[in-house]
Structures are given as structure tokens and as C-alpha cells.
Structure 1
Amino acid sequence: MKVKTTTPASAIKPSAKDSFAITFAPLSVEEAYAKADDQANGAIVLMSGMVRNQTDGKAVMSLEYQAYEPMALRVFYQIAADIRSSWSDVSRVVIYHRVGHLKIGEISVLVAVGCPHRREAFEACRYAIDTLKHTAPIWKKEHWQDGSSSWVSIGACETQDCE
């Protein structure tokens, strides 16, 4: 489904039912799931992005994330508004992203969508993570086993190759 952005990101106000965060604290799958929960839901789809031990076959030791928080949160709000415009039955949207130094296996991003039907929940969740990765002002620095490192804007990532 093609989603159109209908309102400038600066004008978007988050829904009280939704939850958004950029934090140094470890992310909790249980918390994101609970925030997406609603009695109207028949499905909650939760996507957890984790730090993996390699990129393109090169051994990764850790990642470091930075974000321009005010703008990133506006992007998160816009994603939720776009979701509600395209999938009107969505009851809750949760988008959390970590910043700081993360070790292999730690969660870097959580997206959860609650909805009466699973198809819409899956579609909206995929839209949220794909759009976040291409539009949010978030950067990661990969620290490789050989001692080198490199900053990458997650917006420059290919959907299946990053995070």
C-alpha cells in the first residue's frame, strides 16, 4: 500500500494512545508490547531490531547510535499519522530507538502496532520501520573487530541490509 504524507511533520502532534522514545536506556519488548495493547486489538505486531555481529561479512564488535532527537521524534509522529491515515483501524503505534553505545545482541529499535486485524498490523509495522530507516535523522557508527569504525546514516541503508 502506498502511504502519502498528508501534514508537515512540524505540525503533527502525537496521539495520547501512542508511545515514542529516543533513549540511552535499554529497550523493553514487554514495555513496547504493553503500550501497543488495547482491547480493540486482534493483533499486535512487534519488530525488534538488534545489533548483529557482522555487516557484509565484516566482524562487528559494537554499534554507537546518535540522533537529532527533536526532528527524529517529529518523524516518528509523522509515521504514526501516516499509519492512521492508511490503516484507520490501528489502535496503537509504538516507536522506540536507542542511542549510545550498544553491544552485540542489544535491541536498537522497537516498533509495535496494535490493530484489530493481523494483515493491517503487519503492513503498518513494516511501513513504520522502513520509513524510520529512510527518514529519521539517526546515525550509527559501526565498530569493527579490526579496530576501525565508520559512521553511517541509517537513512542511507538498504531496508534488508541495515540494523
Structure 2
Amino acid sequence: MHHIRVQCEAFDIAAEQAALWQGRPQVGAVVTFTGLTRDINEDKAVRRLVLEHYPGMTEKALVALAVEAAGRWHLEGVRLIHRVGTLTPQDPIVFVGVAARHRGEAFEGCQFLIDALKTRVPFWKKEAREDGEHWVGTRASDAAAARRWERRDD
């Protein structure tokens, strides 16, 4: 079961988490990640963040990640929600939730999804900071995190 949404509206973290396990007695573990909009980047205060995406392409990339994760780990469910539009500090921006029979697969699946999402899904971020508006690129640390999940033919 994969549930993918890209939306402007806020989401209810507890409701999204509960949807992963309620009525599904085979689920033994739920791992979630919620990303929040920060108030600082590169030592500059951030007043707001504007997220843009390519409708259709973004959802397709998120579905592909969910399918890949489910193929690598025995997952009972995946929920990916990413907000777009204008956000302010402390606004939830992304929710990644994974349900599995066992915790190890849930943890790995969730970590893979957020690491891959940061580098493989087309979102564009522009920050309004004290020194003006700036587009935000992929961080080297995000790229390094995503590389550890790359499959290698050994």
C-alpha cells in the first residue's frame, strides 16, 4: 500500500502515522520522519521558503521511490507527503512513513526514502533570507547520504 501526496495544505502527522498501521494487524513496526522548515540556513535567518515542483513528474518520482523501497525491504505500507507553496519556519514540509512487520526493515526503508527523496525528486526551493531571496541547491551531505543506498553489482 503506497500513499503519495504533493500538496499545499498542512498535514496531520499523527493521522498519517496511524493510517500506516490501524486495521493492519500484520504491522509490527512503524517508522516515520517529519521534516520541518528551518529558520536558519548558511548562518542566515530564513523568513520563508517557497517550494515549487513539476506536477505529474514529482508524483511519478515519489511513486518510483515507494516501489523501489518496497522491492528492497518487506514493507507493509509507505506514505510520502511533501508540501509545496510558501512555508514558514516550523511548518512541516515532508512526511515519510513506513510500516513493516519488523523494525529493521521499517528503519531502513524510511531512511532510504528520505535520503533518496532529497536528491531524486524534482523540488525547487527558494528561501527568503535577511540577505535576499536565494535558490537552494542539493547539499553535499544529502548527496552523500543518497549514495550509500546505490545498488552495486558485486
TM-score range, shorter chain: 0.7 to 0.9
Contact kept, 8 Å, 1:19 with 1:95, in 2: the verdict is yes
Partner of 1:11: none
Q: Give the alignment's TM-score, normalised by structure 2.
A: 0.86
Whole-angstrom distance in 1 between the partners of 2:15 and 2:52: 22
Select which of 105, 126, 142 maps to 1:159. Answer: 142
Segments of 4+ in structure 1 off by > 6 A?
Answer: none
Of 29, 43, 49, 2:13 maps to 29
Q: How well do the aligned residues superpose, as a CA RMSD in angstroms?
A: 1.4
Counterpart contact for 1:20–1:76, Cα < 8 Å: yes
Q: Is residue 51 of structure 1 aligned with residue 37 of structure 2?
A: yes
Letter in 2 for 1:28: D
The number of equivalent residue pairs is 140
User: For each residue in 1:59-105, what CA deviation from the matched residue of structure 2 results, as whole angstroms up to 9, or x when unmatched?
Assistant: 11111111112111111111111111110x21000000000110110
Gaps of 5+ in 2: 144-154
Alignment gaps of 5+ in structure 1: 1-16
CA shift, 1:143, in A, is 0.9
**Following the alignment from structure 2 to structure 1, what is the Cα–Cα distance between the partners of residues 112 and 63?**
13
Name the residue aligned to 1:113. Answer: 98
d(CA) in 2 for partners of 1:18, 1:34:
14
TM-score by length of structure 1 reads 0.81
Q: Which amino acid aligns with 1:71?
A: M
Deviations 1:1-54, CA, capped at 9 Å, x for gaps: xxxxxxxxxxxxxxxx22110001012212321232232111111100001111
Task: Indicate the larger mover: 69-78 or 91-100.
Answer: 69-78
